[in-house]
Amino acid sequence: MKIDFIDVDSAISHAKQLLETERDISPALKSALEVILLLVTVLLNRVTLNSKNSSKPPASDPNRKKGNRKKSDKPSGGQKSHVGTTLQK
């Protein structure tokens, strides 16, 4: 996955490889960094969701393309000869 020209997946995998090869890190720090990397991965996966690939309704999707409706060539209003029932004379 790329965000702003940054390959996030390769950066996370590189950080995990460096974390595995490092010997001088305490086990508590190592587990905390693994949890942080996991949370970053989960949050980035949620950022890329939209109404097409999730159960999110289209109206709540801020990045959806809104349809551009063209104005009709027909005149507005009812037919010319129709007498309305709500008109007051």
43 in helix, strand or coil? helix
Residues in the chain with pLDDT < 70?
1, 87-89
Structure confidence at residue 88 (pLDDT): 65
- Distance (Å, rounded) from C-alpha 26 to C-alpha 73? 73
Enter the pTM of the model.
0.53
- Distance (Å, rounded) from C-alpha 45 to C-alpha 50? 11
Structure confidence at residue 28 (pLDDT): 92
- Distance (Å, rounded) from C-alpha 20 to C-alpha 30? 9
- Distance (Å, rounded) from C-alpha 3 to C-alpha 1? 7
